[in-house]
């Protein structure tokens, strides 16, 4: 089971399966889930995004994070290798079909207003189940944990992971770090071999 230090997250294959399932259901759901993962957002942060937070020309998203986290401005993700992970493409497709009479919500509910966290949870749970994920991975917060875990496992500098997730304290980011003795020993060995 994909679980590091108590955090449940999606593997890369599970993430792709969820995104594939979401895209087959609706452009909004695919884009919403991809944006949540790409920026390590909480469900409430995704639901609170406004159309004015998105600057397609500049290719950035302004994110007002919650729970004392940092305000961040992050580049939109362009992924040329796997179109399913191309946030710019997803947002363009969503904006092309997004209702124009729905106020300032980036991701709209059926009534044309902001989605609630509960609505996002229900949408994600159904998509995750349809993608074959177990119930304990059918909550949108696994997307934030997945991004953090994917970055840490690729040895991204922790200060950069902290900023990517909008954490005010590095201690919040450190919760995602868990290495085995074998991983630590291999890293030590490689560092010493490359140092001289």
CATH of the domain at 29: 1.10.443.10
pLDDT computed for residue 102 by the predictor: 83
Q: What is the pLDDT of residues 135-184, one digit of tens each?
A: 999 999 999 988 888 888 888 878 788 778 777 777 666 776 665 567 66
Residue 4 has pLDDT above 70, yes or no: no
Give the list of residues 6+ apart from residue 52 with CB closer than 8 angstroms, or none.
104
Considering its fold, how many domains does the chain have in total?
1
Nearest residue to 102 (alpha-carbon basis) of 87, 115, 88: 115
pLDDT at 134: 95
Q: Which pLDDT does position 181 carry in this prediction?
A: 67
Closest by CA position to 16, among listed 64, 99, 100, 82: 82
| Distance, CA of 94 to chain centre | 17
Q: Look at residue 80 and tell me if it is in a domain.
A: yes
> Residue 141 domain-assigned?
yes
Residue 15, domain member (yes or no) = yes
Instruction: Flag whether pLDDT at 1 surpasses 50.
Output: no
Residue 179 placed within a domain? yes
Distance CA 53, CA 72 (A): 11
Q: Model pTM?
A: 0.84
Does the pLDDT of residue 47 top 80, yes or no? yes
Q: What is the pLDDT of residue 69?
A: 83
37 lies in which domain range?
7-195
| More confident position, 68 or 10 | 10
Average pLDDT (22-45) is 96
What digits encode the pLDDT tens for the residues 70-97? 898 989 999 988 999 999 999 999 999 9
Residue 174 counted as domain residue: yes
2 within a domain of the structure (yes/no): no
Q: Are 26 and 108 contacting, i.e. CB atoms less than 8 angstroms apart?
A: no
């Amino acid at each position: 089971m994909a679980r590091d230090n108590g955090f449940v997250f999606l593997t890369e294959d599970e993430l792709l399966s969820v995104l594939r399932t979401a895209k087959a259901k609706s452009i909004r759901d695919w884009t919403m889930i991809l944006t949540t993962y790409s920026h390590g957002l909480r469900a409430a942060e995704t639901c609170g995004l406004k159309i004015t937070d998105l600057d397609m020309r500049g290719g950035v998203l302004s994110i007002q994070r919650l729970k004392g986290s940092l305000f961040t401005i992050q580049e939109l993700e362009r992924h040329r290798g796997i179109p399913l992970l191309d946030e710019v493409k997803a947002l363009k497709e969503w904006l092309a079909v997004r209702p124009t009479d729905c106020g300032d919500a980036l991701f709209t509910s059926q009534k044309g207003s902001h989605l609630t966290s509960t609505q996002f949870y229900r949408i994600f749970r159904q998509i995750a189940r349809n993608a074959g994920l177990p119930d304990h991975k059918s909550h949108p917060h696994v997307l934030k944990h997945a991004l953090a875990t994917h970055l840490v496992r690729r040895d991204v500098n922790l200060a950069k992971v902290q900023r990517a997730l909008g954490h005010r304290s590095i201690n919040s980011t450190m919760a995602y770090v868990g290495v085995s003795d074998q991983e630590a020993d291999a890293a030590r060995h490689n560092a010493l071999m490359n140092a001289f």
